[in-house]
């Protein structure tokens, strides 16, 4: 009995070249093939089936989402070959399945298994469920020598996770990647890591208090023109990302930074800077020098006269972070807050104004930092 074959591979695995070679071999033996392709794949012309190696021929039938195959055209056909089968409807996959049993004609389908979000296409899913034979056409990762298993989508040369499932393109839009390189390039958008809480911490832009050396804990310091520019510079970086929530401290400098860098945030006092008590709002040069030394060292037990201790700050911030559901979040806050959180995962990071620190809170590790 004839079989239904699903031969899948990542981008660049020569699937179409394989199809054309099979067609040539059949015809070299005096046999007849019937070539099918989806209508929406018009990269090389409405009916052209073309490989990256430059070989091409026209399809005998182009199909849409509601197409059916007229079985009369298959009289005398020895093999049906289907290109880009991931775009087939489930109904058409069923018809191909029935062609093998009712007409005893083998059907060989070539296509992708998953989209750039690692999810099965409709046609591929059904073929995996009903095909007699499933074969992988292998290729290597575009960035290393491991086997490619996923396809990564590019936008302006960078990996992205948003957009329509079907967006036609070749090597300028998609590249084959192994799992490790996929994770390294897709970063926090990785659908395989959605069980964790990833935080994009942003320290607010420079303030007038920063510029003048004034201690600003809970006082409302305003952004300088440089601080606004730092926040604006973050916007093209952040707007490419998808966040499940955007939060900021309820202090003006954090709110304004969030508005310039992203949009309106959810404000919360839980993300406020450490309260410096009697020293809040005073120039650093006017406070106890020994206390200033401790401020820079940030030792356990550090506190201010009538202010918060590091333990106080840590408790309120941790309570907020631990309440977040798995996902990716943008948090615009303060240097002391970010330093306190980083110390909880075994590092001591004090970042500059307008800088991003990306952290996997669930697994307690810093992923990377980004400067505007």
Please list the active-site residues.
84
What is d(CA 224, CA 214) in angstroms, rounded to the nearest whole number? 14
Quote the DSSP letter at residue 147.
Answer: B
Alpha helices in the chain (DSSP H): 15-28, 90-102, 122-130, 179-186, 208-212, 225-238, 252-261, 289-297, 310-321, 335-344
Count CB neighbours of 68 within 10 A.
10
SS3 assignment for 93-115: HHHHHHHHHHCCCCEEEEECCEC
Judge whether 100 and 106 are in contact, CB under 8 Å: yes
- Give CA 69 to chain center in angstroms: 38
Judge whether 174 and 43 are in contact, CB under 8 Å: no
Give the SS3 label for residue 189.
helix
61, β-bridge pairs:
36
Judge whether 82 and 110 are in contact, CB under 8 Å: yes
- The radius of gyration computed from the CA coordinates of the chain, to the nearest angstrom, equals 29
Judge whether 140 and 2 are in contact, CB under 8 Å: no
List the one residue out of 143, 132, 215 whose CA is nearest residue 175: 143
What pairing do the DSSP bridges indicate for beta strands 245-249 and 327-333? Answer: parallel
Quote the DSSP letter at residue 73.
Answer: G
Count CB neighbours of 3 within 10 A.
12
């Amino acid at each position: 009995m004839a079989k239904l074959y699903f031969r899948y591979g990542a981008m660049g695995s020569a699937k179409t070249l394989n199809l054309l070679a099979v067609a040539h071999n059949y015809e070299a033996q005096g046999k007849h093939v019937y070539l099918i392709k989806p209508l929406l794949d018009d990269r090389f012309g409405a009916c052209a089936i073309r490989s990256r190696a430059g070989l091409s021929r026209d399809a005998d039938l182009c199909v849409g989402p509601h197409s059916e195959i007229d079985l009369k055209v298959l009289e005398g056909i020895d093999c049906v070959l289907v290109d880009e089968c991931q775009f087939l409807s489930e109904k058409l996959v069923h018809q191909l399945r029935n062609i093998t049993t009712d007409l005893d004609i083998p059907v060989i389908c070539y296509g992708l298994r998953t989209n750039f979000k690692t999810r099965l296409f409709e046609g591929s899913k059904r073929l995996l469920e009903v095909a007699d034979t499933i074969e992988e056409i292998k290729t290597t990762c575009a960035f290393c020598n491991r086997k490619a298993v996923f396809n990564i989508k590019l936008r302006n040369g960078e990996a992205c996770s948003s957009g329509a499932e079907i967006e036609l393109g070749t090597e300028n839009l998609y590249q084959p990647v192994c799992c490790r390189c996929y994770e390294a390039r897709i970063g926090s958008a990785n659908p395989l890591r959605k069980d964790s809480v990833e935080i994009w911490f942003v320290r607010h832009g420079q303030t007038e208090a920063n510029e003048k050396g004034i201690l600003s804990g809970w006082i409302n310091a305003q952004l300088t023109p440089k601080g606004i520019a730092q926040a604006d510079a973050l916007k093209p970086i952040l707007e490419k990302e998808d966040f499940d929530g955007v939060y900021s401290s309820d202090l003006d400098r954090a709110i304004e930074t969030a508005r310039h860098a992203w949009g309106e945030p959810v404000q919360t006092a839980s993300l406020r800077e450490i309260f410096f008590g009697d020293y809040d709002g005073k120039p650093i040069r006017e406070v106890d020098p020994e206390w200033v030394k401790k401020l820079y060292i940030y030792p356990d037990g550090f506190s201010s006269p009538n202010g918060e201790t590091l333990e106080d700050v840590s408790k309120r911030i941790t309570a907020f972070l631990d309440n977040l559901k798995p996902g990716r979040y943008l948090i615009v806050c303060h240097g002391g807050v970010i330093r306190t959180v980083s110390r909880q995962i075994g590092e001591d990071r004090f970042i500059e104004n307008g800088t991003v620190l990306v952290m996997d809170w669930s697994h307690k590790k810093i992923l990377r930092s980004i400067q505007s």
